Structure 1
Amino acid sequence: MTGLFLGFLLGFIMQRGRFCMAGGLRDLYLFRDGRMTLAILIIITLQSIGLFAFVALGWAKLPGGDFRWLATLVGGVTFGIGMGLAGSCSTGAYYRAAEGLAGSMIAVVGFVVASWYIRQPGGKQLFAPINGPALPDASLMQTFGMSPWPAVVLLTVLTGWLVWRHLKRKSFPVPQPKPRKQGLAHWLFEARWHPFVSAVLIGVIALLAWPSSLESGRVGGLGISGPSAQLFSLITEGKTGFFGWAGYLLIGIFAGALVAAWGSQELRLRSPGLPTMVKSLFGGGLMGIGSGLAGGCMLGNTIVNTAWFSWQGWLFIPCILLGSWLVSYFTIILPNQSNKTKEA
């Protein structure tokens, strides 16, 4: 049940911290705001330091396999486009669905169905040409036959320097409403959380996921793409494979976000309208296809696979950036430019 506990904490923190990785990557492009990108880097760095220490102590194991570079490229761009259309990544869609956002609920449906389909014989056959090309080495250490620690030190120094640069910049106070709660209740359900605080907490959870999931025979960290596919099989066929460590993690994420939304009085049903709902469904489906091809979603690839310096994880990042930024350009920047031209 450790998956359920860690999932609950993760869902709670992401909801209360408004930790939207998709929005952060979009803001990097639209507003040159790199706070959320730095927060993601903090999670990767903390997890990397702890993970390789755990491996040395025998508390965790690293995944093996090869590097399906073409599937990662295509899957990453596809996931990024879906993320832009849905307005969140797959994990973000789950925690926003727990808040009552109908668009996110529809995105989750699309993600679950597509995640299931791409793992079926028909889906595998359809995407076989993309899944075929592979390189034998899955990680930086395998390719160069080196210790991970020089890379860990370099990543730590880079992250520390970037965070220091960001924190020393002059910031402007954000007006806050008068607190209605006091003490711990205020901090848990009312106070505004800094993205870096959320990142540290998520980094610890991501690290603990490795040894806790290993106890159940699973080699890996956080991830929701696989259990999302199993959720569809549970609903439609009654298959109980969903009830493993990763499945309980998924249940915990939803439950934690639900409690956080209820405690902060953000739990209410909201509908964005039919056009946005259709876009969210399509975006969720693309995220399901993309994560199936790339071997992981935003959580599994961007947060987890990068921590052990897998080529798949680090290639996935620029691919989702490309996909999400393309959507931002055609849906936000280009229409705004057209409106300004008409007004002139």
Structure 2
Amino acid sequence: MTGLFLGFLLGFIMQRGRFCMAGGLRDLYLFRDGRMTLAILIIITLQSIGLFAFVALGWAKLPGGDFRWLATLVGGVTFGIGMGLAGSCSTGAYYRAAEGLAGSMIAVIGFVVASWVIRQPGGKQLFAPINTPALPDASLMQTFGMSPWPAVVLLTVLTGVLVWRHLKRKSFPVPQPKPRKQGIAHWLFEARWHPFVSAVLIGVIALLAWPSSLESGRVGGLGISGPSAQLFSLITEGKTGFFGWAGYLLIGILAGALVAAWGSQELRLRSPGLPTMVKSLFGGGLMGIGSGLAGGCMLGNTLVNTAWFSWQGWLFIPCILLGSWLVSYFTIILPNQSIKAKEA
């Protein structure tokens, strides 16, 4: 049940911290706002330091396998396009669905169904030409036959310098409404959370997921792509494979986000309109296909696989950036340029 507990904490923190990885990456190239990107880097760094220490102590194991580079590349771009259409990554869609956002509920449905389809024999056969090309070494350490610690130190220094430079900048106070709650209730359900605070908390949860899931026989950290497919099998076929560590993690994410939304009075049904709902469904489906090809979603690849320096995790990041940028270019940047040109 540790998966349920960690999932609850993760869902609560992501909802209260408004921790949207998709929005953060979009803000990086649209508004030159790198706060959320730095927050992601903080999570990766904290997890990397602790993970390799855990491996040395025998408390965690690293995944094996090869590097399916073409599937990661195609899957990453596909996931990024879906993320741009849905307005959030798959994990963000789950916590937003728990707070009542109808568009995110539809995106989750698309993600769950597509995650299941791509794992079926027909889906595997269809994408076999993409899944087949592979390199034998899955990580930086395997390729160069080196200790992970020089890379960990370099990553830590880089993250520290970037965070320090960001915090040095002059900040402008954001007007806050008068508090209605006091003490811990104010901090938990009302106060504005800095992305870096949320990142540290998520980093600790991501680290604890490794030894926690290993106790159940699962090698890996946080991830929701696989259990999402198993959820569809549970609903349609009655298969109970969903009720493992990762399945309970998914249940916990929904429960934690629900409690956070209820406590902060953000729990209400909201519909964005039919066109957005259709985009969300299509986007969720593309994220399901993309994560199935790439071996993980934003949570599993961007936050977790990067921490043990897997080539898959680090290739996934520029690919989702490209996919997300393409959607932003054709739906935001290009229309705005056309409007400005007409007004000139």
Can you list the C-alpha shifts for 1:106-159, whole angstroms capped at 9, x where unaligned? 000000000000000000000000000000000000000000000000000000
Whole-angstrom distance in 1 between the partners of 2:130 and 2:169: 45
Whole-angstrom distance in 2 between the partners of 1:338 and 1:38: 32
Q: Note the 1:238-249 alignment, pairs <5 A.
A: 238-249=238-249
Q: CA deviation at 1:90?
A: 0.1
Q: CA deviation at 1:343?
A: 1.6
- Which residue in the other structure is 1:212 paired with? 212
Q: CA deviation at 1:52?
A: 0.1
Q: CA deviation at 1:54?
A: 0.1
Whole-angstrom distance in 2 between the partners of 1:85 and 1:72: 20
Whole-angstrom distance in 1 between the partners of 2:86 and 2:251: 21
1:74 counterpart SS class: helix
Can you list the C-alpha shifts for 1:186-233, whole angstroms capped at 9, x where unaligned? 000000000000000000000000000000000000000000000000
Whole-angstrom distance in 2 between the partners of 1:297 and 1:53: 25
2:308 counterpart SS class: coil
Whole-angstrom distance in 2 between the partners of 1:26 and 1:162: 19
Can you list the C-alpha shifts for 1:81-117, whole angstroms capped at 9, x where unaligned? 0000000000000000001000000000000000000
1:77 counterpart SS class: helix
Whole-angstrom distance in 1 between the partners of 2:30 and 2:50: 33
2:307 counterpart SS class: coil
Whole-angstrom distance in 2 between the partners of 1:82 and 1:236: 24
Whole-angstrom distance in 2 between the partners of 1:101 and 1:28: 24
Whole-angstrom distance in 1 between the partners of 2:268 and 2:291: 29
Q: CA deviation at 1:339?
A: 0.8
Can you list the C-alpha shifts for 1:286-338, whole angstroms capped at 9, x where unaligned? 00000000000000000000000000000000000000011011100100111
2:49 counterpart SS class: helix
Q: CA deviation at 1:30?
A: 0.4
1:143 aligns with 2:143: yes
Q: CA deviation at 1:32?
A: 0.2
Identity between Structure 1 and Structure 2 (%)? 97
1:71 aligns with 2:67: no
TM-score (norm: length of structure 1): 1.00
Q: Note the 1:1-344 alignment, pairs <5 A.
A: 1-344=1-344
Whole-angstrom distance in 1 between the partners of 2:304 and 2:343: 47
2:270 counterpart SS class: coil
Root-mean-square deviation (CA, aligned residues, Å) is 0.3
Q: CA deviation at 1:341?
A: 1.2
TM-score (norm: length of structure 2): 1.00
Can you list the C-alpha shifts for 1:43-80, whole angstroms capped at 9, x where unaligned? 00000000000000000000000000000000000000
User: Number of paired residues?
Assistant: 344
Whole-angstrom distance in 1 between the partners of 2:342 and 2:254: 45
Gaps of 5+ in 2: none
Q: CA deviation at 1:256?
A: 0.1
1:307 counterpart SS class: helix
Q: CA deviation at 1:342?
A: 1.3
2:53 counterpart SS class: helix
Whole-angstrom distance in 2 between the partners of 1:272 and 1:68: 37
Whole-angstrom distance in 2 between the partners of 1:326 and 1:99: 29
